[in-house]
Structure 1
Amino acid sequence: MHFDWAMAGGSFLVAVVVGLTGMGGGALMTPMLVTFFGVSPLAAVSSDLVAAAVMKPVGSLVHLRRGTVNLRLVGWLCVGSVPSAFAGVLVARALGHGADVQDVVQKALGVALLVAASGLVLKAWMSRRSATEDAPDAQDGTPQISVRPLPTALVGLLGGLVVGMTSVGSGSLIIVALLALYPALRANQLVGTDLLQAVPLVFSAALGHLLFGDFHMEVTAALLVGSIPGVYLGSRISSRAPGGIIRRVLAFVLVVSGLKMFGVPAVPLAWTMVGLAAAGGLLWAVGAARRPRQDGPGGEREAGHEQAGDQPAAGHVGDPVAS
């Protein structure tokens, strides 16, 4: 069996993004396999899901140990996602991966990702005018939220169906829905909850693809070699990093993944990424320059937040891309 080290390197980079944001696996890994390594779409979906069934538990375990997971949310999401993920494999097999429905699903997911990214940016600008949004998180890293069982289970059902059909959505689609349903979730808790709920979902979809898909052991092996250390590294960073940093990365990945769903070519996509990174850096610099004048000459508030470990996001409400 020929081992593809380039594929392993690519999977490492994608897995770091997955660990950081809880999303991007199917949205980035499957297109990478098809575009750069010539893997057939069905084989890419099948092999990616089997690899994800091993990769996702690694990242979610890190967040479980850090306490950045809402287990009630995970349970209700799995009620809908586990059976529908297996059913999605059968639907995809019946329709065929060349069917128009695949294109419709990807375009709809692309719109959802771009809307979610816009929502994060809008929320950041709104938080500049109100310092109360992150106040409940200042003392407690796990804010109390009221779980809505039926909408949450329906989100899991829809997400599982899409994952079974395309391998995309275990993070991308469900994290968008969680952002809308539970805006009080902190960034690292959002990532941790999304990673853990994806474990049984992906296991169900992977089982379906092992039975009915086009699983390639050599592709999965290369993905695992890169993705296991990548997702561990990304999860370690996201479980400890300030919420503002995670949200910046999450917004960036949402936009890139959304554009990829619309088939944006590699070169324009790369330039878009550079432009977004530059714009984000400029906005952060402007916010940082304004903060000392707002907080006072002594800089005591900033210093205190820098020492607060997991809590910096709550104090950085003046940062235009922090929330």
Structure 2
Amino acid sequence: MDLGLLAVAVGIGVVVGLTGMGGGALMTPTLVLFFGVPPLTAVSSDVVASAAMKPAGSWVHMRNGTVNWKLVRLLVYGSVPAAFGGVLVAHWMGPGPEVQSFVKHALGVVLIIASLGLGVRAYLRLRERAMARDGRAAPLPRDRPEVVARPVPTIIVGVLGGLMVGLTSVGSGSLIIIALMALYPALKASQLVGTDLVQAVPLVIAAAIAHLMFGDVDWSVAIPIILGSVPGAYLGAQLSSRIGGGLVRRALGIILFVAGLALLGVSGQWVFISLGVLIVVSTVAWGWIRHSMGFHFFTFQERRAERMEAS
């Protein structure tokens, strides 16, 4: 067993448990860029590992009542056949380097979209806080809000998310949850995560079955991922109440964007330059956005002020 891969799986599991972000957006590019795993094998192995992991987290949300079953059903109507179809599309292109190149580039595009989605998600949460603080938004209800399901757009989200998961293993936990936030802003954060996680179970199982049918899975890769990420995700969930996930998510957004550039074939020099520019620009831009909404420029200033008020 590859102990290095096992250790990386633990680390990624911690990040997933800490931030609620889907592991495919981190694990698959890590396998491709740092472990030299062929893109299609990386995608299939990660999907199979996700199929083994997600039911445990789903059970927690079902037990806590943080699942909107109407939305789960609508998403599954689109995502399950689309996930299976995504695998078929990859193989329809034929064996050999063409498929690997297509999957690698598709993964790069999806990672960039996911990184932008994380930025949109952070902005919406900050705006929600500002509106609640200024009294421009109604207080959040204590009970789970009833939302009116929108069948057609929800099924379309399921189709697009399922297709991306089948092709790249990325989509559940990143792309789908962003779309749910836009369609159903009344849902609590716990409901967003719970609904997305539960609908992801049949989604990744469908994609995993398709990959197993085609013999894409490398068990020497999948088993260390499962053994490492499950306890890592549990540890991350325990740490989530002690460590701010916002900073981690913003860092992940930068990492995903840069990884997407690398997978799209951008030279190492430009990837490195892009990393430096993104760190500086994103820090200044996010601080300016916070300041324009009446918050401190940096998060640590806000926490320090809160501690001083409490004392």
Per the shorter chain, which TM-score range?
Answer: 0.7 to 0.9
Partner of 2:300: 285
| Alpha-carbon separation, structure 2, partners of 1:292 and 1:27 | 35
Residue type of the alignment partner of 2:218? H
- Verify: 1:202 aligned to 2:204, yes or no: yes
- SS in structure 2 of the partner of residue 92 of structure 1: helix
Superposed counterparts of 1:306-317, under 5 Å:
none
- SS in structure 1 of the partner of residue 298 of structure 2: helix
- Verify: 1:127 aligned to 2:129, yes or no: yes
- SS in structure 2 of the partner of residue 170 of structure 1: coil
1:249 CA drift (Å): 4.5
Residue type of the alignment partner of 2:232? G
Partner of 1:9: 7
Greater Cα offset, 267-276 or 177-186: 267-276
CA separation of 1:258 and 1:71: change in aligned 2, threshold 3 A: farther
Partner of 2:140: 136
Residues 36-63 of structure 1: per-residue CA shift (max 9 Å, x gap): 2121111111111111100111222222
Partner of 1:262: 261
1:171 CA drift (Å): 1.9
Aligned 8 A contact 1:59 1:235 in 2: no
Aligned 8 A contact 2:107 2:260 in 1: no
- Verify: 1:89 aligned to 2:87, yes or no: yes
Greater Cα offset, 271-280 or 194-203: 271-280
Aligned residues: 289
Residues 196-224 of structure 1: per-residue CA shift (max 9 Å, x gap): 11111000000000011421111111111
TM-score (norm 1): 0.76
1:84 CA drift (Å): 0.8
Partner of 2:17: 19
Residue type of the alignment partner of 1:206? A
1:49 corresponds to which of 47, 57, 62? 47
1:97 CA drift (Å): 2.6
Partner of 2:228: 226
| Alpha-carbon separation, structure 2, partners of 1:134 and 1:5 | 51
Partner of 2:72: 74
Residues 206-254 of structure 1: per-residue CA shift (max 9 Å, x gap): 000001142111111111110111223334566xx49x95555445434
Greater Cα offset, 101-110 or 143-152: 101-110
Partner of 1:151: 153
| Alpha-carbon separation, structure 2, partners of 1:105 and 1:40 | 12
Partner of 1:312: none
Residue type of the alignment partner of 1:283? F
Aligned 8 A contact 1:159 1:169 in 2: yes
Residue type of the alignment partner of 1:229? P
Partner of 1:177: 179
| Alpha-carbon separation, structure 2, partners of 1:268 and 1:186 | 38
Tell me how large the CA RMSD over aligned residues is.
Answer: 3.3
Unaligned segments of structure 2, at least 5 residues = 288-295
Residue type of the alignment partner of 2:24? G
Unaligned segments of structure 1, at least 5 residues = 304-323
TM-score (norm 2): 0.79
Aligned 8 A contact 1:58 1:232 in 2: no
CA separation of 1:154 and 1:118: change in aligned 2, threshold 3 A: closer
State the percentage of identical aligned residues: 45
